[in-house]
Amino acid sequence: MPRILDGAAIAAAIKHDVAADVRTLATKGVRPGLAAVLVGNVAASEIYVRNKVQTCAELGLYSDLITPPDTVTTAELLSLVASLNTRDDIDGILVQLPLPKSIDARAVLDAIDPAKDVDGLHPVNAGRLQSGRPALAPCTPAGVIEILKRCALPIAGQHAVVVGRSDIVGKPAAMLLLNQNATVTICHSKTRDLPSITRQADILVAAIGRPGFVTPEMVKPGATLIDVGINRLTTREEFDRFFLGNEKREAAFAKRGSVIVGDIHPKAFELAGAYTPVPGGVGLLTIAMLMVNTVHAAKMRRGL
Protein backbone atom coordinates (compact mmCIF):
# COMPACT_ATOMS: atom_id res chain seq x y z
CA MET A 1 0.00 0.00 0.00
CA PRO A 2 1.31 3.47 -0.81
CA ARG A 3 2.18 5.68 2.13
CA ILE A 4 -0.12 8.69 2.53
CA LEU A 5 1.81 11.83 3.50
CA ASP A 6 -0.52 13.53 5.98
CA GLY A 7 -0.40 17.29 5.39
CA ALA A 8 -2.51 18.03 8.46
CA ALA A 9 -0.14 16.23 10.83
CA ILE A 10 2.94 17.84 9.27
CA ALA A 11 1.38 21.32 9.35
CA ALA A 12 0.49 20.81 13.02
CA ALA A 13 4.09 19.82 13.83
CA ILE A 14 5.41 22.90 12.01
CA LYS A 15 3.01 25.18 13.87
CA HIS A 16 4.08 23.60 17.16
CA ASP A 17 7.69 24.47 16.34
CA VAL A 18 6.74 28.02 15.33
CA ALA A 19 4.85 28.58 18.59
CA ALA A 20 7.94 27.45 20.52
CA ASP A 21 10.08 29.87 18.50
CA VAL A 22 7.65 32.71 19.21
CA ARG A 23 7.81 32.01 22.94
CA THR A 24 11.61 32.06 22.83
CA LEU A 25 11.61 35.36 20.94
CA ALA A 26 9.21 36.80 23.52
CA THR A 27 11.89 36.34 26.18
CA LYS A 28 14.06 38.68 24.07
CA GLY A 29 11.30 41.25 23.76
CA VAL A 30 10.47 40.32 20.16
CA ARG A 31 7.02 39.49 18.79
CA PRO A 32 7.01 38.66 15.06
CA GLY A 33 4.45 40.69 13.15
CA LEU A 34 2.65 40.03 9.86
CA ALA A 35 0.79 42.60 7.78
CA ALA A 36 -1.81 41.18 5.39
CA VAL A 37 -3.13 43.45 2.65
CA LEU A 38 -6.49 42.31 1.26
CA VAL A 39 -7.90 44.46 -1.55
CA GLY A 40 -11.63 44.42 -2.26
CA ASN A 41 -14.15 41.67 -1.52
CA VAL A 42 -13.09 38.37 -3.10
CA ALA A 43 -14.72 35.62 -1.05
CA ALA A 44 -11.97 33.02 -1.49
CA SER A 45 -9.25 35.56 -0.65
CA GLU A 46 -11.16 36.73 2.41
CA ILE A 47 -11.36 33.18 3.76
CA TYR A 48 -7.70 32.54 3.05
CA VAL A 49 -6.50 35.77 4.68
CA ARG A 50 -8.79 35.24 7.66
CA ASN A 51 -7.18 31.83 8.17
CA LYS A 52 -3.73 33.45 8.07
CA VAL A 53 -4.70 36.06 10.67
CA GLN A 54 -6.31 33.40 12.86
CA THR A 55 -3.18 31.23 12.69
CA CYS A 56 -1.06 34.22 13.75
CA ALA A 57 -3.24 34.61 16.84
CA GLU A 58 -3.06 30.90 17.64
CA LEU A 59 0.75 30.85 17.48
CA GLY A 60 1.37 34.16 19.25
CA LEU A 61 2.33 36.34 16.29
CA TYR A 62 1.04 39.89 15.88
CA SER A 63 -1.04 40.53 12.75
CA ASP A 64 -2.40 43.63 11.07
CA LEU A 65 -5.13 43.09 8.46
CA ILE A 66 -5.38 46.05 6.06
CA THR A 67 -8.36 46.09 3.68
CA PRO A 68 -8.24 48.81 1.01
CA PRO A 69 -11.31 49.02 -1.28
CA ASP A 70 -11.13 47.62 -4.80
CA THR A 71 -11.03 51.23 -6.02
CA VAL A 72 -7.52 51.64 -4.59
CA THR A 73 -4.91 52.78 -7.09
CA THR A 74 -1.45 51.37 -7.74
CA ALA A 75 0.07 54.57 -6.33
CA GLU A 76 -1.95 54.22 -3.12
CA LEU A 77 -0.91 50.60 -2.69
CA LEU A 78 2.72 51.50 -3.29
CA SER A 79 2.45 54.15 -0.60
CA LEU A 80 0.90 51.61 1.79
CA VAL A 81 3.69 49.09 1.13
CA ALA A 82 6.31 51.81 1.67
CA SER A 83 4.81 52.59 5.07
CA LEU A 84 4.77 48.91 6.05
CA ASN A 85 8.42 48.59 5.00
CA THR A 86 9.34 51.16 7.66
CA ARG A 87 7.25 49.76 10.52
CA ASP A 88 9.40 48.04 13.10
CA ASP A 89 6.47 45.97 14.42
CA ILE A 90 5.99 44.37 10.99
CA ASP A 91 8.41 41.61 9.99
CA GLY A 92 6.40 40.16 7.12
CA ILE A 93 4.25 41.75 4.42
CA LEU A 94 1.90 39.80 2.18
CA VAL A 95 -0.30 41.28 -0.49
CA GLN A 96 -3.06 38.78 -1.22
CA LEU A 97 -3.40 37.87 -4.87
CA PRO A 98 -5.17 38.27 -7.20
CA LEU A 99 -5.31 42.06 -7.17
CA PRO A 100 -7.86 43.99 -9.26
CA LYS A 101 -6.87 44.21 -12.93
CA SER A 102 -6.46 47.97 -12.60
CA ILE A 103 -3.49 47.41 -10.24
CA ASP A 104 0.08 46.83 -11.39
CA ALA A 105 0.56 43.74 -9.24
CA ARG A 106 4.20 43.24 -10.17
CA ALA A 107 5.08 46.82 -9.16
CA VAL A 108 3.35 46.34 -5.81
CA LEU A 109 5.07 43.02 -5.07
CA ASP A 110 8.47 44.40 -6.13
CA ALA A 111 8.01 47.33 -3.74
CA ILE A 112 7.99 45.03 -0.70
CA ASP A 113 11.25 45.08 1.26
CA PRO A 114 12.91 41.72 0.42
CA ALA A 115 13.62 41.24 4.14
CA LYS A 116 9.85 41.34 4.76
CA ASP A 117 8.81 39.40 1.63
CA VAL A 118 7.31 36.39 3.42
CA ASP A 119 5.64 35.16 0.23
CA GLY A 120 9.11 34.83 -1.30
CA LEU A 121 8.09 36.49 -4.57
CA HIS A 122 10.56 39.39 -4.71
CA PRO A 123 13.27 39.08 -7.42
CA VAL A 124 15.95 39.50 -4.75
CA ASN A 125 14.69 36.46 -2.86
CA ALA A 126 14.31 34.52 -6.12
CA GLY A 127 17.94 35.33 -6.92
CA ARG A 128 19.14 34.30 -3.47
CA LEU A 129 17.22 31.05 -3.77
CA GLN A 130 18.74 30.36 -7.19
CA SER A 131 22.26 30.98 -5.87
CA GLY A 132 21.77 28.79 -2.80
CA ARG A 133 21.93 31.69 -0.34
CA PRO A 134 19.62 32.14 2.67
CA ALA A 135 16.30 33.47 1.39
CA LEU A 136 12.61 33.70 2.15
CA ALA A 137 11.27 30.98 -0.14
CA PRO A 138 7.70 30.80 -1.47
CA CYS A 139 5.54 29.03 1.08
CA THR A 140 4.09 26.16 -0.96
CA PRO A 141 7.43 24.93 -2.41
CA ALA A 142 9.01 25.27 1.04
CA GLY A 143 6.17 23.10 2.32
CA VAL A 144 7.03 20.44 -0.25
CA ILE A 145 10.57 20.23 1.16
CA GLU A 146 9.23 20.05 4.71
CA ILE A 147 6.98 17.13 3.77
CA LEU A 148 9.89 15.18 2.30
CA LYS A 149 12.21 15.93 5.22
CA ARG A 150 9.72 15.34 8.02
CA CYS A 151 8.62 12.06 6.43
CA ALA A 152 12.29 10.99 6.13
CA LEU A 153 12.02 10.60 2.37
CA PRO A 154 15.41 10.91 0.63
CA ILE A 155 16.08 13.95 -1.55
CA ALA A 156 19.83 13.93 -2.15
CA GLY A 157 20.73 11.87 -5.20
CA GLN A 158 17.10 11.39 -6.21
CA HIS A 159 15.82 12.36 -9.65
CA ALA A 160 13.12 14.96 -9.04
CA VAL A 161 10.85 15.97 -11.90
CA VAL A 162 8.80 19.15 -11.49
CA VAL A 163 5.85 19.51 -13.86
CA GLY A 164 5.09 23.22 -13.99
CA ARG A 165 7.26 26.33 -14.26
CA SER A 166 5.40 29.07 -12.40
CA ASP A 167 7.31 31.63 -10.36
CA ILE A 168 5.17 30.76 -7.35
CA VAL A 169 5.60 26.96 -7.27
CA GLY A 170 7.38 25.23 -10.15
CA LYS A 171 10.62 27.22 -10.42
CA PRO A 172 11.22 27.67 -6.67
CA ALA A 173 10.36 24.02 -6.00
CA ALA A 174 13.00 23.01 -8.53
CA MET A 175 15.58 25.33 -6.91
CA LEU A 176 14.82 24.06 -3.40
CA LEU A 177 15.15 20.44 -4.54
CA LEU A 178 18.40 21.25 -6.32
CA ASN A 179 19.71 22.93 -3.16
CA GLN A 180 18.95 19.66 -1.35
CA ASN A 181 21.17 17.83 -3.88
CA ALA A 182 18.45 16.25 -5.99
CA THR A 183 18.96 15.94 -9.74
CA VAL A 184 16.15 18.12 -11.09
CA THR A 185 14.28 18.22 -14.39
CA ILE A 186 11.69 20.94 -15.01
CA CYS A 187 8.88 20.07 -17.42
CA HIS A 188 5.78 21.89 -18.66
CA SER A 189 2.91 21.57 -21.09
CA LYS A 190 5.21 22.08 -24.09
CA THR A 191 7.74 19.41 -23.06
CA ARG A 192 8.20 16.81 -25.80
CA ASP A 193 7.32 13.22 -24.81
CA LEU A 194 6.56 14.27 -21.24
CA PRO A 195 5.64 10.74 -19.98
CA SER A 196 9.09 9.41 -20.83
CA ILE A 197 10.59 12.03 -18.50
CA THR A 198 8.09 11.79 -15.65
CA ARG A 199 8.54 7.99 -15.60
CA GLN A 200 12.17 8.59 -14.58
CA ALA A 201 11.18 10.53 -11.46
CA ASP A 202 11.92 9.25 -7.97
CA ILE A 203 10.14 12.40 -6.77
CA LEU A 204 7.41 13.77 -9.03
CA VAL A 205 6.03 17.23 -8.22
CA ALA A 206 2.89 18.16 -10.13
CA ALA A 207 2.16 21.90 -10.19
CA ILE A 208 0.70 22.59 -13.61
CA GLY A 209 -2.85 23.59 -12.67
CA ARG A 210 -4.70 20.98 -14.73
CA PRO A 211 -6.96 18.41 -13.07
CA GLY A 212 -5.59 14.88 -13.26
CA PHE A 213 -2.88 15.91 -15.74
CA VAL A 214 -0.43 13.27 -14.48
CA THR A 215 -1.89 9.90 -15.39
CA PRO A 216 -0.82 6.40 -14.24
CA GLU A 217 1.29 5.75 -17.36
CA MET A 218 3.38 8.82 -16.46
CA VAL A 219 4.46 7.44 -13.07
CA LYS A 220 7.34 5.17 -12.13
CA PRO A 221 6.14 2.50 -9.66
CA GLY A 222 7.31 3.32 -6.14
CA ALA A 223 7.86 7.03 -6.82
CA THR A 224 7.02 9.75 -4.32
CA LEU A 225 4.19 11.84 -5.77
CA ILE A 226 3.78 15.42 -4.54
CA ASP A 227 0.50 16.90 -5.81
CA VAL A 228 0.39 20.70 -5.51
CA GLY A 229 -2.73 21.11 -7.65
CA ILE A 230 -6.12 22.20 -6.33
CA ASN A 231 -8.82 21.98 -9.00
CA ARG A 232 -12.54 22.13 -8.37
CA LEU A 233 -14.79 19.74 -10.31
CA THR A 234 -18.35 20.98 -10.71
CA THR A 235 -19.89 18.83 -13.46
CA ARG A 236 -20.94 15.22 -13.43
CA GLU A 237 -18.78 14.51 -16.46
CA GLU A 238 -15.69 15.85 -14.70
CA PHE A 239 -16.53 13.94 -11.54
CA ASP A 240 -16.93 10.63 -13.36
CA ARG A 241 -13.53 11.05 -15.07
CA PHE A 242 -11.79 10.82 -11.71
CA PHE A 243 -14.08 9.43 -9.03
CA LEU A 244 -16.64 7.13 -10.65
CA GLY A 245 -17.52 4.50 -8.04
CA ASN A 246 -15.86 6.37 -5.15
CA GLU A 247 -18.63 6.42 -2.54
CA LYS A 248 -16.95 8.93 -0.21
CA ARG A 249 -16.36 11.45 -3.01
CA GLU A 250 -19.83 10.74 -4.40
CA ALA A 251 -21.37 11.77 -1.09
CA ALA A 252 -19.26 14.95 -1.01
CA PHE A 253 -20.25 15.83 -4.57
CA ALA A 254 -23.93 15.28 -3.84
CA LYS A 255 -23.72 17.49 -0.74
CA ARG A 256 -21.63 20.38 -2.09
CA GLY A 257 -22.04 20.16 -5.84
CA SER A 258 -18.28 20.02 -6.29
CA VAL A 259 -15.15 18.14 -5.21
CA ILE A 260 -11.45 18.88 -5.30
CA VAL A 261 -8.91 16.97 -7.38
CA GLY A 262 -5.19 17.58 -7.75
CA ASP A 263 -2.95 17.68 -10.81
CA ILE A 264 -2.32 13.92 -10.44
CA HIS A 265 -5.03 11.46 -11.45
CA PRO A 266 -6.20 9.53 -8.35
CA LYS A 267 -5.48 6.22 -10.10
CA ALA A 268 -1.79 7.20 -10.35
CA PHE A 269 -1.50 7.23 -6.56
CA GLU A 270 -1.98 3.46 -6.57
CA LEU A 271 1.47 3.11 -8.17
CA ALA A 272 3.24 5.41 -5.70
CA GLY A 273 5.53 4.52 -2.86
CA ALA A 274 4.23 7.63 -1.08
CA TYR A 275 1.96 10.51 -2.05
CA THR A 276 0.29 13.69 -0.84
CA PRO A 277 -3.51 13.50 -1.05
CA VAL A 278 -5.76 16.30 -2.35
CA PRO A 279 -7.24 17.66 -0.21
CA GLY A 280 -5.21 17.02 2.93
CA GLY A 281 -1.70 17.35 1.52
CA VAL A 282 0.55 20.19 0.40
CA GLY A 283 -2.13 22.88 0.60
CA LEU A 284 -2.34 22.60 4.37
CA LEU A 285 1.33 23.55 4.72
CA THR A 286 1.15 26.90 2.92
CA ILE A 287 -0.08 28.91 5.91
CA ALA A 288 2.22 26.99 8.27
CA MET A 289 5.21 27.93 6.11
CA LEU A 290 4.03 31.55 6.03
CA MET A 291 4.31 31.53 9.81
CA VAL A 292 7.79 29.98 9.53
CA ASN A 293 8.84 32.72 7.10
CA THR A 294 7.48 35.48 9.34
CA VAL A 295 9.40 34.22 12.36
CA HIS A 296 12.50 33.71 10.21
CA ALA A 297 12.20 37.28 8.91
CA ALA A 298 11.88 38.58 12.48
CA LYS A 299 15.07 36.78 13.45
CA MET A 300 17.01 37.89 10.37
CA ARG A 301 16.03 41.54 10.79
CA ARG A 302 17.39 41.50 14.33
CA GLY A 303 20.45 39.40 13.67
CA LEU A 304 19.20 36.55 15.88
Single-letter code of the amino acid located at 106: R
> Is 51 within 8 Å of 290 (Cβ atoms)?
no
Q: Please give the Cα distance from 238 to 69 (Å, whole number).
A: 36
**pLDDT computed for residue 63 by the predictor:** 97
Q: Which residues are marked as active site?
A: 52, 96, 119
pLDDT tens readout for residues 262-287:
999 999 999 999 999 999 999 999 99
Among 49, 81, 115, the domain-final residue is 115
Rounded percentage of the chain residues whose pLDDT exceeds 70: 100
Tell me whether residue 170 is in a domain: yes
CATH of the domain at 245: 3.40.50.720
In this prediction, residue 189 has a pLDDT band, given cuts at 50, 70 and 90, of confident
User: At a CB cut-off of 8 Å and minimum separation 6, what does 299 contact?
Assistant: 25
Of 83, 115, 147, which one is at a domain's C-terminal end? 115
Domain match, 101 and 236 both: no
> How many domains are contained in the chain?
2
Which of the four pLDDT bands, split at 50, 70 and 90, describes residue 132?
confident
Residues 232, 210 contacting (CB under 8 angstroms):
no
Q: Are residues 203 and 277 in the same domain?
A: yes
What letter does residue 281 receive in the DSSP assignment? S
Instruction: For residues 124-145, give the mean pLDDT.
Output: 94
Q: Which pLDDT does position 54 carry in this prediction? A: 96
Residue 122, in any domain of the structure: no
Domain span including residue 47: 27-115
